[in-house]
Amino acid sequence: MTPVVLLPLPIILPFFTAVLAFLFRRGAEGKWISVIGSALTLVAGIFLLADVLTNGPQAAQMGNWPAPFGITLVADTLSAIMVVITGITALAVSIYAVSDVTRNMEELGYHALFQVLIAGVVGAFLTGDLFNLYVWFEVMLISSFGLLVLGGKRVQLDAGIKYVTLNLISTILFLSGIGLLYGTTGTLNLADLHYAVQDADPGLITVIATMFMVGFGVKAAVFPLFFWLPASYHTPSFAVSAVFAGLLTKVGVYALMRMFTLVFTQDVGFTHTLLLWVAVLTMVTGVLGAAAQTDFRRILSFHIVSQIGYMVLGLALLTPLAVMGAVFYLVHHIVVKANLFLVAGVANRIAGGTEIEHIGGLYKGAPFLAFLFLIPAFSLAGFPPLSGFWAKYVLVKASLDLELWLVAFAALAVGLMTIYSMTKIWGRAFWKPHPNGTVPTLASLPSGERMALLLPIIGLAIITIIVGLFPEPFVQVATLAANELLDPTPYLTAVLGERP
Amino acid sequence: MELFIPLMVGAMVAAAVYLMLARNVLRFLFGLILISNAANLVIFASGGLTPEAPPLVALGETLPPEGVANALPQALVLTAIVIGFGLFAFALVLVYRGYQNLGTLYSDEMRLAEPEEHK
């Protein structure tokens, strides 16, 4: 398939699925349409990754307007990896949703919103145009607003107001940044911007870079801009919070990685040092926040914040090893985090809540679920031989190579603190007997629903184990992605053609 | 013209930030509308503002005459206005529903999702 077909395909498929799912929202077909659509998106993503790995970065000019005038879709290794991982998450969550999402939410258009969200996420990963990136952010944002408040429980409205308002502020900063950048350089094509910022006044570009950093920083939930995340991620249905936890903040991280390797590299001493301290503070504050919580999902929400710090750390160090670590971490984290939220959903179903003081006995009644919780939980904390170990190992090694002892110490200490709050969940929700004396079991779920809930969890856990046991091919691909980020010549050539 | 726009943007941002610092969510939303229009003006101004000539390319030419304003940011602003409109319609309804169900417009009384510590 040519790039002009292959690149838009993972964006068009979810949109198409969304339309179909909306038409069939009153029937039982809606959820299956969503599952099939997600599977097709994943397949399209795999084809794209295979193509990028054999032929290098691919670009497609939409409407045949040559770059930098038209909108370009670009897939380098990082984008293609992200599309595949989005497909995996979408598939897992849409299978989970078969059982988790209520009839009422389906009729309100849950599946359509979910697929539009996926389209927005994939679009943000594939676009090579700054204003187009803004549009994809908005597509993603408006569907996430819908998903967050769908069902209309009071706690959701409360969370929704905070989520919506703070995200709108970040959007406006991003938009003003685009305006100023266009005014300064006269282009919006990311590849073209790479050259254009080199001729512009570096001081001015640094100011604009800071606006982008704050705008994307809110989306990525870095310190001190993360407050909307733990205020909202624990309120919607579990399928929704799993896909939010897996994908949404990571789009912010991706945007940071793209902009601060391809465009804003004129003053690394300022921007990336700032990012470094932001990263360290994000790791530490996130994990401290988690230690203070007693709700299953709120603990996990604060962990997201803390883990985002690791990814930003990799970007901030800007060595090949560190960026490779950030890419690896990004992929590992999406799988693990989505999985933990899915486990929380099952725990809620069989034990009747997510407040860990009020539930218990899961280890006794559902040892299989306990086992499935341990895999992503240990991976998140960085136990060998799971995927998180390699992700953390690479980042710590990268900071030691640069002799940033304090940073390496923080990264290791945060891993230890992650274990602390994971043992809190383990001790209270799994080991302690249930306060009302019952023993929650998986057998209490109807067998069809049990399948739909456990299948995605098992699948994601297997991915975690495979990445952990055989990291070599994944590290190779991540290295390739990192090299392309640090030396964007193939990306630039794919978009703009050969330049003298 | 070009001097006037930045001053106006500055004034709008100042007013918007003042409104957004309020505890009342509705005032916050009004601030958000103001600041997003300020952002739109920033984009609008980035293409250059001039009353000299319309950005039309004469027959047989490939470039417009010197000194015309760049028309692209104006197209971008249109997109941004439409998107912004959609988002505000949603946010307004959300705040209204929030007011109906939570019984308050004050952000520091909205503690359902983040309950205060029980001592």
Residue B43 contacts A, CB cutoff 8 Å:
yes
Q: Per-domain residue ranges for chain A?
A: 269-483
- Could you tell me the residue ranges of all domains in chain B? 4-52+64-109
In this complex, do A232 and B113 lie within 8 Å of one another by their Cβ atoms?
yes
pLDDT digit string, tens, across residues B53-93? 777 788 888 887 777 778 888 888 998 999 989 999 999 99
pLDDT at A115: 93
What are the structure tokens assigned to A79, written together? Answer: 């984008």
Residue A299 reports pLDDT greater than 80: yes
Total count of residues recorded for chain B: 119
Question: What local confidence, expressed as pLDDT, does residue B117 receive?
Answer: 65
Which residue of B21, B94, B109, B116 is the best one to mutate when testing the A interface, meaning the one whose CB has the most A CBs within 10 A? B94
The string of pLDDT tens digits covering residues A418-448 is 888 888 888 888 888 888 878 888 888 888 8
CB contact under 8 Å between B79 and A175, yes or no, is no
Q: What local confidence, expressed as pLDDT, does residue A500 receive?
A: 59
Among A329-343, A382-396, B49-63, the minimum mean pLDDT is found in B49-63
pLDDT tens column, B47-58 = 777 777 777 788
Contact residues on chain B for A168, CB-CB shorter than 8 A: 32, 36, 87, 91
**Which tokens is A28 given?**
């039982």
Find where tokens 């999702």 sit: B113
Residue A355 has phi, psi (to 5 degrees) of -75, 110
Q: What is the DSSP string of A350-403?
A: HHS-SBTTT---HHHH-HHHHHHHHHHHHHHHT-TTSHHHHHHHHHHHHHHHTT
% of chain B at pLDDT higher than 70 = 97
Q: What is the pLDDT of residue A352?
A: 81
Average confidence (pLDDT) over A72-90: 92
Q: CA-nearest residue of chain B to A232?
A: B113
pLDDT of residue A25: 85
Q: How confident is the model at residue B115 (pLDDT cuts 50, 70, 90)?
A: confident
- pLDDT of amino acid B119: 45
Select the more confidently predicted residue: A11 or B49.
A11
Mean pLDDT of A284-301: 88
Cβ contact A40:A474 at 8 Å: no
CA geometry: angle A421, A426, A428, nearest 5 deg: 95
Classify A89 in phi/psi space as left (phi over 0), alpha (psi -120 to 50) or beta: alpha
- Residue A269 one-letter amino acid: G
Report the complex ipTM: 0.91
Average pLDDT over residues A473-489: 90
Q: State yes or no: pLDDT of B109 exceeds 70.
A: yes
pLDDT(B16) > 90: yes
Q: What is the pTM of this model?
A: 0.93
Are residues A196 and A185 in contact, defined by beta-carbon separation less than 8 angstroms? yes
Q: Are residues A176 and B46, on separate chains, in Cβ contact within 8 Å? A: no
What are the tens digits of pLDDT across the range A212-246?
Answer: 999 999 999 998 888 888 888 888 889 999 999 98
* CATH code for the domain defined by B4-52+64-109: 1.10.287.3510
| Kind and range of the H or E run holding A317 | helix A296-317
Q: What is the mean pLDDT of residues A399-411?
A: 89
* Spatial CA neighbour of A452 closest among A146, A20, A82, A34: A34
pLDDT above 90 covers a percentage of chain A that reads: 39
Q: Does B10 touch chain A (CB under 8 A)?
A: no
Average pLDDT, chain A: 89
Taking 80 as the threshold, does the pLDDT of residue B116 lie above it?
A: no
Mutation site, B43, B92, B104, B108, interface A, largest A CB count within 10 A: B43
Q: How far apart are CA A270 and CA A265, in angstroms?
A: 10
Comparing CB atoms, the residue among A131, A160, A183 nearest residue B94 is A160
Contact in structure between A156 and A149 (CB atoms under 8 Å): yes
Most A-contacting residue of B87, B102, B105, B118 (CB-CB within 10 A), to test interface: B87
Q: Is the peptide bond before B55 cis (omega within 30 degrees of 0)?
A: no
